[in-house]
Amino acid sequence: MARVILDSLKKTYGGNLILNNISTVIENGELVSLLGPSGCGKTTTLRCIAGFEIPDSGTITIGDTDITTMLPEQRDIGMVFQNYALFPHMTVFDNVAFGLRMRKVSREEISQRVHHIMKVVGLEGYDARYPRMLSGGQQQRVAIARALVIRPRLLLLDEPLANLDAKLREEMRFYLKKLQREVGITMIYVTHDQSEALVLSDRIIVMFNGRIHQCAAPEELYRHPATLSVANFIGLINPFDARFRGLENGCALAEASCGVLRCENFISEQFKDMAPGTPVKVGIRPESLTISSYSPEKLPGLNIIGGTVQEKVYIGNMFDYRVATPGGEVVRVQASPSVDIPMGNACWISAASVDTLLLPLE
């Protein structure tokens, strides 16, 4: 096992750039998710690593080996497919043993290793069954066992939970996490489900339109998103059009239609050389906003916006407000039900500057 390095991968399909300069490093033993909407290039990246696609340019290395153009069967990488891709004409045992047979492992060792891995995935005694006789979750575990039994350098998972029902999906998330800790294998996990990525991953690589927007730990990603797309994909965000004013003691000023907003949540490299007047986005998450019917005290670290309650929905633990600002923006606010402002009333919403994101235009 060793680190995986993707270096400037590019891939085009019929004139469309599917992968646009994908570079990243995945450390030994890490579980990294490739997260993004469908068509963002996450599956293509995975297929390049597995050897089912060859990038037009760029290199993929595992440890010291350049595997970019190696045949899939020589890569020693395990893969779990979205539909499991079990061989329906083979028993569970033969499915799991397939990779070992291809490696000409002795009969006794095959039997021993298959039975060991079946125990690990909790499928002892299922040897003689056929895949069609198993439930979705069990098939999933056969697919994982089949990939792990060859002791691959790396395990790739392509939306492995997408075909399971919601309850089972939740269970499998924790199961996969536990399995990864036990086996200690490097995993690359493709998903479009943010909560899945948040629960499972050591780090998440967020992709849009063939580009990596951000690569960070789950918490970091939520707290300090690098782009508006990331902020929007992981959680909710209210975007405001604004112009960059400048930096002032670690605080960035941006002029929006509702006034000058103070932002303390931003990635400084993105703005350190930015000229004043450059269009930017300011983002505030609905749960960071406070709503009240009177103007809060003007504090230095507070952004205050006036507006009218346009819509209000009660969702149990909170009110979900939509507030219209004089500038024509509609801001979503999620506030505790203790504050109840009727529809049509004037209100003030506020957010601390540490919760106010400054984001570059994409």
Per CB under 8 A, residues contacting other proteins are 50-52, 71-73, 75-79, 81-83, 85-87, 89, 98-99, 102-103, 146-147, 150
DSSP 137-160: HHHHHHHHHHHHTT--SEEEEEST
Cβ at position 72, least distance to other proteins in Å: 4
Cβ at position 166, least distance to other proteins in Å: 24
Q: Mutual orientation of helices 92-102 and 136-148 as an angle, nearest 10°?
A: 20
> Which two tokens mark 18?
């599917």
Beta strands 330-335 and 279-284 are: unpaired
C-alpha to C-alpha distance for 43 and 19, rounded to whole angstroms: 10
Q: How far is CA 348 from CA 53, 300, 333, in A?
A: 54, 16, 11
Nearer to other proteins, 46 or 198 (CB): 46
Cβ at position 22, least distance to other proteins in Å: 21
Cβ at position 85, least distance to other proteins in Å: 4
Cβ at position 102, least distance to other proteins in Å: 4
Cβ at position 107, least distance to other proteins in Å: 17
C-alpha to C-alpha distance for 114 and 136, rounded to whole angstroms: 20
Q: How many other C-beta atoms lie within 10 A of the C-beta of residue 55? A: 24
H-only helix segments in 11-54: 42-50
Nearer to other proteins, 142 or 341 (CB): 142
Q: Which amino acid is at 13?
A: Y
Cβ at position 106, least distance to other proteins in Å: 16
Q: How far is CA 347 from CA 159, 225, 236, 256, in A?
A: 44, 28, 21, 19
Nearer to other proteins, 73 or 297 (CB): 73
Task: Return the ∠ at Cα 266 (arms to 264 and 270), rounded to 5°.
Answer: 135
Nearer to other proteins, 85 or 168 (CB): 85
Cβ at position 80, least distance to other proteins in Å: 9
Residues 6 or more apart from 109 whose CB is under 8 A from it? 100
Nearer to other proteins, 86 or 226 (CB): 86
Nearer to other proteins, 99 or 283 (CB): 99
Nearer to other proteins, 79 or 161 (CB): 79
Nearer to other proteins, 150 or 204 (CB): 150
DSSP state of 316: S
Residues listed for the chain? 362
